[in-house]
């Protein structure tokens, strides 16, 4: 699919990879962003006054429902849904600074909200002549590490869910794709690892891959 003259919905579009996707695609497309309230959204409104912004903490499923319903009520078809937003908490279960309450937040942001948004926005996706659901994933879905066990589990769940959903949507106008990324230089990865790629490099490869593929379900770098 050529990403031109499309209505594109991006979660977590106020920073990091989501913001890089927005900047790359905004000049030639109509963009809607779903992101948690923050100062970054104010900057986003100033830089991109034409985009639509729905404020929602993706850990709050009621807020996710409100954001999705607002998009549905507009009646516009959605050509591409980028499920990009994610959080990662690094303490291990055995660490003294591990916080029990982060378990639910990590699962809800990284996985539950993705399932909810896809279900709620599927009618708008099916209105498009050809639509894509693009789930941004990680190599940790396939090869988990010792730290961030919940994050790795949510990415593993996203992988299986994406494959199953692709089977469910066979024969429809909606395809499901995953992007398995190496470590990207964002706020999430501050102080961790080396050999990172920039968000702009990641987006360039994502866009090239989506433009080149037909209905295959996975893009890997």
Residue with tokens 């050999």: 195
The residues with which 81 forms a beta bridge, in sequence order, are: 9, 133
Rounded CA-CA distance 104/179 in Å is: 24
Q: What are phi and psi of 72, to 5 degrees?
A: -65, -40
Pair 82, 26: CB distance under 8 Å: no
Determine whether 151 is an active site residue.
yes
Q: What are phi and psi of 178, to 5 degrees?
A: -120, 150
- The single residue of 82, 89, 111, 151 carrying the catalytic annotation is 151
E strand segments, 86-221: 131-138, 174-181, 218-220
Catalytic residue set? 151
């Amino acid at each position: 699919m050529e990403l031109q003259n499309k209505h594109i919905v991006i979660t977590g579009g106020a920073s990091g990879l989501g913001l890089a996707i927005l900047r790359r695609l905004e000049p030639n497309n109509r963009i809607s962003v779903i992101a948690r309230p923050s100062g970054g959204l104010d900057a986003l409104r100033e830089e991109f006054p034409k985009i639509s912004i729905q404020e929602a903490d993706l850990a709050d499923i009621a807020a996710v429902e409100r954001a999705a319903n607002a998009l549905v009520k507009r009646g516009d078809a959605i050509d591409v849904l980028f499920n990009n937003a994610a959080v990662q908490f690094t303490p291990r279960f055995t660490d003294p600074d591990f916080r029990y309450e982060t378990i639910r937040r990590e699962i809800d942001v990284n996985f539950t909200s993705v399932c909810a948004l896809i279900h709620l926005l599927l009618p708008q996706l099916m209105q498009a002549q050809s639509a894509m659901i693009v789930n941004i994933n990680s190599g940790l879905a396939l090869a988990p590490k010792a730290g961030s066990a919940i994050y790795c589990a949510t990415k593993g769940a996203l992988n299986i869910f994406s494959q199953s959903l692709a089977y469910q949507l066979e024969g429809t106008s909606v395809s499901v794709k995953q992007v398995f990324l190496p470590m990207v230089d964002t706020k999430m990865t501050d102080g961790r690892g080396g050999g990172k790629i920039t968000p702009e490099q990641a987006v360039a490869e994502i866009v090239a891959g989506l433009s080149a593929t037909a209905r295959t379900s996975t893009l890997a770098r």
